[in-house]
Structure 1
């Protein structure tokens, strides 16, 4: 962007709230909880005997025209093909594909009518094939399924134990031009401190969003990703000083302002949804 050019920033989705697919009354409630994306879950949240009813319930709800994401069942299950009949429906703005391991699985979902697919990487094989998934058409970003991933690899712990894997997902997502990935859920419902710590850790590592399993988690996640008032003020001052200098060397608060600092300031304002110059 040339110096002096201003545009309103696009704010990527930061919170993805999962709602059980067999509880249609919760979908409308979830839409009012401030989540940037509501995900109707047809997979883990729905028992085998209730999946058909959940599909039909969702099919009826989609007629309202309101947009949601859908987590379908994985390609290795008997429910996959039936779930695909929903992915091209009006109102489905994205599909989360669990246990995703091959680009062919994404292609199958896309060919069924999905315009956006978010692979849920939660196995060793899916992680190994991450680059192929990121290069597949219609993939917008990656969701890291930390709990199932730990089980698959025999890992105990969600902290340093997953540092390499989180950092690699961030790196590969960037290399192939995807949005910053979505971090896995915090299972400690009601523990705001733990949720905030987990979200801020993901943000420091380069994640751009977090999955939520309860409405009470949404605002904590949104707030953690939102720049502070002090950061926004600093960013405006940096860009103003840089603009006034005509792009030359300038100091703000004793810090030399160069292009990397300007880019950081623009990113802060972009994350806040403010005009960026």
Structure 2
């Protein structure tokens, strides 16, 4: 995670950009893409024969001044333990755990990193979805991520679109009950389809997601804009907060609607997202 994110008390990331771990020439460019968080990927983006090379490239590049997330290979693979140990190095701000299916998967990761580093657990299988609460309540899990493409493959679904909204709702509710941050939605694989990306981003926001995974730098700006409060939302939130302040605890209406504490909390949340 770059230095201009939550490290300085700013709102949590909206855009998470994957970068193949065996393409070190792209690492610095990713940090300059505008993405709120960069994920150096050791899993899907790296061929099996290049896994060790990618791990060495990441280890050589890491410094405390360039904080990033790392996606390791899944528990049970021959690369998992070696990948997870990168979490002991300075410059790693968190670990993305693929194929998370139980709290024990998270514990296995933490036992290798030997730190209190944030874990971002990817829910990518039916088993992971069924056990999402167990995963969400595991040690050091900060957010759930929805691995939509792998999830569709696991269930034999033909589409990663609106057919998944039921599962999106489940992850949002699970995260809320577990007391962790709202989840992060999966990628839009069509890199050149800006309309689809914007529609996917808006849909994720409507369902209560806090951000979205990106697979190309050109997707970052649209995701950041999509999750940012609109001018109308900011104006509404400001009216709510001001009316509530003036009322000093008394009943008050704004735009013809009564304002109670949940409405104020929503307004505060919108204003806190301004960067």
TM-score range, shorter chain: over 0.9
Matches within 5 A, 1:117-196: 117-196=119-198
Is 1:236 the counterpart of 2:238? The answer is: yes
| Structure 2 unmatched runs, 5+ | 1-7
Is 1:96 the counterpart of 2:101? The answer is: no
SS of 2:94 mapped into structure 1? strand
Deviations along 1:114-142, whole A, 9 cap, x unmatched? 51111111011111111111111100000
Runs of 4+ with >4 A deviation: none
Structure 1 match to 2:5: none
Alignment counterpart, residue 252 of structure 1, candidates 251, 254, 271: 254
Structure 2 match to 1:105: 105
For residues 264 and 9 of structure 2, what CA distance do their matches in structure 1 show? 15
TM-score norm. by structure 1 comes to 0.92
* 8 A Cα contact 1:87 1:109, kept in partner: no
Deviations along 1:203-235, whole A, 9 cap, x unmatched? 100111100000000010000000012221221
For residues 9 and 239 of structure 2, what CA distance do their matches in structure 1 show? 18
For residues 80 and 247 of structure 2, what CA distance do their matches in structure 1 show? 58
Structure 1 match to 2:3: none
Measure how far apart 1:196 and its partner are. Answer: 0.6
* 8 A Cα contact 2:20 2:46, kept in partner: yes
Instruction: Provide closer, same or farther for how the CA distance between residues 244 and 99 of structure 1 changes in structure 2, counting only shifts above 3 A.
Output: same
Deviations along 1:5-45, whole A, 9 cap, x unmatched? xxx98511111000000011101000011111000000111
For residues 112 and 217 of structure 1, what CA distance do their matches in structure 2 show? 33
For residues 9 and 118 of structure 2, what CA distance do their matches in structure 1 show? 21
Which shifted more, 233-242 or 186-195?
233-242
- Which structure would you say has the larger RCO, counting Cα contacts within 8 Å and 6 or more residues apart? 1
Measure how far apart 1:256 and its partner are. Answer: 2.4
Instruction: Provide the aligned C-alpha RMSD in A.
Output: 1.5
Is 1:49 the counterpart of 2:49? The answer is: yes
For residues 270 and 64 of structure 2, what CA distance do their matches in structure 1 show? 36
* 8 A Cα contact 2:145 2:186, kept in partner: yes
Deviations along 1:33-88, whole A, 9 cap, x unmatched? 11110000001111111111111111000136410000010112111121122111
Structure 2 match to 1:5: none
Alignment counterpart, residue 198 of structure 1, candidates 197, 200, 204: 200
